Amino acid sequence: MQRRPLIAGNWKMHTTLTEARALAEAVARSAADVEGRDVMIAPPFTALAEVSLALRGSTVQLAAQNVCWVEQGAFTGEISPVMLSSLGCGAAIVGHSERRHIFGESDALINKRIKGAMALGVMPLFCVGETLEERDGGNTFLVLESQLRLGLADIVCNDPARLIVAYEPVWAIGTGKTATTGQAQEAHAFIRDILASLFEKSVAGQIRILYGGSVNSDNVDILMAEPDVDGALVGGASLKPESFHRIIHFQGKTA
């Protein structure tokens, strides 16, 4: 089954309004001549409105870095799916390792975020991944299965376009270390098998699974060559127009 590749840039806590607009405009120019793949960027909440204007008329999709599970209410510091949609923001990263390990977000909370986003029309980009200690202990697959089953508990997904999963080994995020192509493919294939046990097999076969963890212009081609790697969730390299341009223009599969 052929899945349309997706390159997503997670800007994390970077960029002022001026910097965000300039970077978004550069990404829009870079994406203007690519075909057979999607491009997405996730600026900080403060820059979403400005970036939405900068992307107007382009093919680049807009995502948030997190999302609440309700439409409105007394949730200080949270942003609802309806608020995101009003900015032209159709997706949101959920369960990123930094949210899990720095801010203590649990699988149960992540599940609430995914359910709320899907119910209110925002596509979750759901992140899973193991720490170095968990990998060295031989528990990678146990961790991935637990995160997937708990994060997607009681969720019905009949449309593969409503969900994206990202495999991001924690030990490879911001460290300069990248999973080998074999490690990435093995994890992605395992994730797809778990998805097939949660949803219809035909749906699981079409859900895109991205790799995240020190993706850069030097390794993107070999990662994208793996059959179950459907794209990349890019951190630091997405803040540099030249490197993100090269990543968007990776050599290999298209749809």
Q: Please tell me which residue in 105, 134, 168, 226 is annotated as part of the active site.
A: 168
Burial 99-138 (b: 16+ CB within 10 A, else e): bbeeeebebebbbbbbbbbbebebbbbbbbbbbeebbeee
Would you call 186 a catalytic residue per the annotation? no
197 vs 242: CA distance, rounded Å = 40
Would you call 168 a catalytic residue per the annotation? yes
Helix (H, G, I), strand (E, B) or coil at 164: strand
Q: Please tell me which residue in 96, 130, 134, 188 is annotated as part of the active site.
A: 96
Of 135, 58, 129, the closest CA to residue 93 belongs to 129
Contacts of residue 194, defined as CB under 8 A and 6 or more positions apart, other chains included, come to 144, 145, 148, 149
Active-site residues, by number, are 96, 168
